[in-house]
Amino acid sequence: MAADICERFHFALCGMYYDAIGIFGYVNFLVDKTRGEIITTLLDGLQRLEYRGYDSAGIAIDDDSRNSTMIIREVGKVNGLREKVAATDLDSSVVFDNHCGIAHTRWATHGSPKVENCHPQRSDPSGEFVVIHNGIITNFQALKTLLTSKGFQFESETDTECIAKLFKHVYDTNLKAGITLDFNELTKQVLFELEGTYGLLVKSTHFPGEVCGTRKGSPLLVGVKTEKKLKVDFVDVEFFTEQQTNELLMATAQDNLRTSQSRAFLADDGIPMPVEFFLSSDPASVIQHTKKVLFLEDDDIAHIYDGELHIHRAKKSAEDTTVRPIQTLEMELNEIMKGPYKHFMQKEIFEQPDSTFNTMRGRLDFENNIVTLGGLRSFLPTIRRCRRILMIACGTSYHSCLATRSIFEELTEIPVTVDLASDFLDRKSPVFRDDTCVFVSQSGETADSILALQYCLERGALTVGIVNSVGSSMSRQTHCGVHINAGPEIGVASTKAYTSQFIALVMVALSLSNDSISKARRHAEIIQGLQKIPEQIKTVLKLEDKIKDLCNTTLNNQKSLLLLGRGYQFATALEGALKIKEISYMHSEGVLAGELKHGVLALVDDKLPIIAFATRDSLFPKTMSAIEQVTARDGRPIVICNEGDAIAKNEKVFATLEVPETVDCLQGLLNVIPLQLMSYWLAENKGIDVDFPRNLAKSVTVE
């Protein structure tokens, strides 16, 4: 079959509508659930994924006879889908003791979101095979041409639809040859034809109550809920040699036998027990049901039927591990809820005294000025010997690299470059075996950063992750790393992840140089500075009312804003500008203060709002000179300075926001907070849904 397709079509990356965002699936076995309850579980699961940003949503459930599948889809929010479901004449009282439902939120990166493009996508009008998918199928055009030639009629512009139709095609082709494939074996054959990335769930009228889930480059996990305590803490991976697979195929063809190496969730008496399975691309939608989860690895196929969870491999490789642990998620539901705050972003800004503390917890010994990063310990000698350090990231995470580059170079004496992941790949930047590549990411799932990581892995460099999401692709694919432990970040605008990434990177620089006697004093100074940061952040957060006031008056309805910073504060200026534009839609630009006279000064007049970072460090006199250049052109800047600084009395300065003083290389941790608050209040004043800014998604899992 693969050869059949390959021969006739060359696989090309085609212009397409590709989708990604949230997958949720629910299977009950020996647990009676009404259709209404099943739908509520699916929709609630989707609602938990809302924070990632999406433009449409859909679900697929069984009809009463199970001979066809009902698909309900809607553009817009999950609540809109809820209304659409309520408006149907479905009998929600029908009880199922075994059922599989799947649900999806989609974020189209090309083309308009419309109902036909929503997931689930189906193989045919009766929904013999129904699929939800995150990722991109790169050979979709070739598959579509083949399937069209076989008589399939496509209904959408998505790449996903070809997966559903391919399932039917492979199933029917085998059937004609007298072979009835097991759902898992069928999935394996379909995957053989697919190129690209996927997190995938498929349900079928041929396999009622069953689901197959698989992933490649896109996350997928399975939560397991049983009434009695689970007695297993791992699931075996079921491998077969080619011969065994053929024998099995023959056997299944004859008797429709099931594999015997199952991982059933059995009660003490050996009888299958009631069990519920929750499949998702994100633990946030599972923890309200169960904390017991299993993370699938690339090329795993999870096949759930009769209350059993089987893990198969789509492809066998030498590095395959034989078990998948069932882990206990430490995340609490209330950790992902808003608490007393109106928006997640506001909550996360105010969480920073705690989140920064958590980043340092157990890693910094403030009495003896020692840093211990468990995840890096055994790699430190290799990193110290490397020729250069390449920091690679996107957006806010990139800014945290810029903010710490200087202290990295000062402490490690190793040259450090900082790259945006997309540009790094565009340039096909040279990477060598003796390079250390540091990848910084909140989500650990950002497509550009993952591609850059794979690029560096292929070239033999040592890769280090600085990641928030434990179990994310990046955290697992890097050789080693540091979890920043900031807790789940839900607001689309990254805030607490920035300050925690900043601290984690400083701690890495400290670890790398902890054998240097000449740096001992500087070390002690920084570690003592870090200890005070959480309390100092609390002080800065008290500026909220003053900032709110500025947003209501001077900054209200302005079209543009300049942020001036140099040295350590250039990164703060860039990060502040990014926050303001993404949340409040106001144009803002971070400018290196030293560059002002090389062009940007032309913009300055008595109207353009300007914010300057003038906290006390070695570059303070130079920053002051930039401020004078601005005031000489009637500009009236708002200045972020240290508490009690004389600049506050300068009448040419419009206002000051005074922040506590800390060590020069840590000052950016405090200076960024007024800008986070400013972006929040500028957006809130405009009535913008701060947690869901337009056109943006929390986790950018497409290139």
615 binds, among ligand UD1, ligand F6R, none (CB under 5 to 8 A by kind): none
446 binds, among ligand F6R, ligand UD1, none (CB under 5 to 8 A by kind): ligand F6R
User: Is residue 478 close enough to count as binding ligand UD1 by CB under 6 A?
Assistant: yes
Report, in Å, the least distance between residue 21 CB and ligand UD1.
Answer: 23
User: Is residue 482 close enough to count as binding ligand UD1 by CB under 6 A?
Assistant: yes
Q: Pick from 164, 77, 368, 247: which is nearest to 154 by CA?
A: 164
User: Is residue 700 close enough to count as binding ligand F6R by CB under 6 A?
Assistant: yes
The 10 Å Cβ neighbour count of residue 676 is: 29
Residues in the chain: 703
Distance of CA 298 to the CA centre of its chain: 16
Report, in Å, the least distance between residue 504 CB and ligand UD1.
Answer: 8
Taking CB under 6 A as the criterion, the residue among 5, 480, 550, 608 binding ligand UD1 is 480
700 binds, among ligand UD1, ligand F6R, none (CB under 5 to 8 A by kind): ligand F6R
Restricted to residues 404-443, the positions that interact with ligand F6R (CB under 6 A) are: 441-443
Residue 368 has phi, psi (to 5 degrees) of: -105, 5
484 binds, among ligand UD1, ligand F6R, none (CB under 5 to 8 A by kind): none
465 binds, among ligand UD1, ligand F6R, none (CB under 5 to 8 A by kind): ligand UD1
Q: CA geometry: angle at 217 spanning 125 and 465, to 5°?
A: 155
Report, in Å, the least distance between residue 294 CB and ligand F6R.
Answer: 23
Interface map 477-506 toward ligand F6R (x if CB under 6 A): ----------------xx------------
The neighbouring-strand residues paired with 261 are none
Report, in Å, the least distance between residue 415 CB and ligand F6R.
Answer: 24
Q: Which residue has the tokens 């992941």?
A: 421
Residue 415 has phi, psi (to 5 degrees) of: -60, 135
With beta carbons less than 8 A apart as the criterion, state whether 404 and 427 touch: no
Report, in Å, the least distance between residue 292 CB and ligand F6R.
Answer: 26
Contacts 24+ apart (CB under 8 A), 378-382: 378/480, 379/462, 379/464, 379/479, 379/480, 380/511, 380/512, 382/436, 382/462
Distance from C-alpha of 430 to C-alpha of 551, rounded to nearest angstrom: 45
Report, in Å, the least distance between residue 691 CB and ligand F6R.
Answer: 12
Of 196 and 444, the one with the shorter C-beta distance to ligand UD1 is: 444
Distance from C-alpha of 217 to C-alpha of 196, rounded to nearest angstrom: 8
Stretch that binds ligand UD1, among 76-84, 215-223, 473-481, 662-670 (CB under 6 A): 473-481
User: Is residue 467 close enough to count as binding ligand UD1 by CB under 6 A?
Assistant: yes
Q: Where are the beta strands (DSSP E) in 76-209?
A: 95-108, 121-122, 129-134, 198-204
Of 464 and 578, the one with the shorter C-beta distance to ligand UD1 is: 464
Report, in Å, the least distance between residue 470 CB and ligand UD1.
Answer: 5
Sheet holding 234-238: strands in order across?
A: 121-122, 129-134, 198-204, 211-216, 300-305, 308-313, 234-238, 323-325
Of 500 and 667, the one with the shorter C-beta distance to ligand F6R is: 500
Taking CB under 6 A as the criterion, the residue among 30, 71, 267, 470 binding ligand UD1 is 470
Distance from C-alpha of 695 to C-alpha of 577, rounded to nearest angstrom: 17
DSSP code at position 651: T
Of 506 and 527, the one with the shorter C-beta distance to ligand F6R is: 506
Cα dihedral value 87, 90, 96, 102, nearest 10: -50
326 binds, among ligand UD1, ligand F6R, none (CB under 5 to 8 A by kind): none
- Residues binding ligand F6R (CB under 6 A): 394-397, 441-443, 446, 449, 493-494, 578, 582, 699-700
